[in-house]
Amino acid sequence: MQSSSKAVKGHENEKERLVMEMEAVVQERASLEAQLVSLRTQIDSLTAELEEHKAKVAATRNNHDHAQSKLNLIRQKMKECDSQISCILKDQQKLQQKLSETNLERKKMENEVKRMEMEQKDCSTKVDKLIEKHAWIAPEKQLFGRSGTDYDFASRDPIKAREELERLQVEQSGLEKRVNKKVMEIFEKAEDEYNDLMSKKNIIENDKSKIKKVIEELDEKKKETLKVTWVKVNSDFGSIFSTLLSGNMAKLEPTEGCSFLDGLEVRVAFGSVWKQSLSELSGGQRSPLALSLILALLLFKPAPLSILDEVDAALDLSHTQNTGRMIETHFPHSQFIVVSLKEGMFNDANVLFRTKFVDGVSTVQRTVAAK
């Protein structure tokens, strides 16, 4: 009986456990049925939404097809316009070529006219000088070219003229005997000196032109180098400043009405508003601006080692962190020694040296950042 009682108690305990499990299963079944009802409701709502989306997709497809047809029409019109433009450009090139040829011909004609005018002036000048030199020309001028006069150039006998020439040459040879020969030697010597001086002058002028050419080439190289430097420093300046003060811009540009060779000025924009003058900036804004310009110049011509002594003194914590991040980003291959009293500067450092008092003695603690 005792063993049977124990067995009965065990069966009763098992019964109670099974009853509790049955109740739990019943509760779980009720919960699952409630979830099933909720899921069916969601399925119905999703089915309705799916139908609505299908209708929207169909309408969108219709709109797309309509827009595609319009786009095809516009593209066809654009092709026609392109063909017309190409024809117009060809006609324009022909007209420009014809115009250039016409201008060239006109310049040639103008030069010819100028040359003839110059020749006419020279001839007129020579005639005036002859009239001024020989007084007999003015009263005898009216007889020039008339037949029956001494100035009948068409009927003049060349044989007599040659005989007259020979006679005059004999007379000239007789006069030459009375001429001082040393005068000719002096004249020849002076002429040689003159030719030598002219040769030296030509050499000097050639050297002068070569020197001018070299100077012009150096000026061009200087301008090109300055332009490349300006473009590089301007790009790095804007990039560094936008890193220090995110959302803001800075640039170097020539003053109004001048080129970059005449000088550059610093322009700053906060947001989308460009400041008219740097006097409008606060001390906390001028400090990162000056730092950006110095580091942009340093980025163009790097130094083996750079030291920054409390450049973040006028900056808040966020701008200090931006400064450290900027140095790590823009100068990955440079060495910097940065002195700072703010923790934000140390986040991107490779090695930290902290100084502090320990028992009244100044000590240095070295820490290598784990990266």
Helix (H, G, I), strand (E, B) or coil at 281: coil
pLDDT one-digit tens code per residue, 92-128? 999 999 999 999 999 999 999 999 999 999 988 888 8
Q: How far is CA 278 from CA 83, 281, 289, 315, in A?
A: 53, 6, 10, 18
pLDDT one-digit tens code per residue, 196-222? 999 999 999 999 999 999 999 998 998
Reply yes or no on domain 303-371 having CATH 3.40.640.10: no
Q: 341: which 2 tokens?
A: 């009293």
Q: Domain coordinates of the chain in residue numbers? A: 1-122, 209-301, 303-371
| pLDDT range class, residue 181, cuts 50, 70, 90 | low
322, 354 contact by CB (below 8 A)? no
pLDDT of residue 371: 57
Query: Which CATH code for domain 209-301?
Result: 3.40.50.300
CA 78 from centre of chain: 33
What does the alpha-carbon distance between residue 352 and residue 338 come to, in Å, rounded to a whole number? 10
pLDDT one-digit tens code per residue, 261-302? 778 888 888 877 787 777 777 777 788 888 888 888 888 888
| pLDDT range class, residue 90, cuts 50, 70, 90 | very high
Q: How far is CA 307 from CA 196, 271, 284, 303, 367, in A?
A: 65, 31, 21, 10, 19
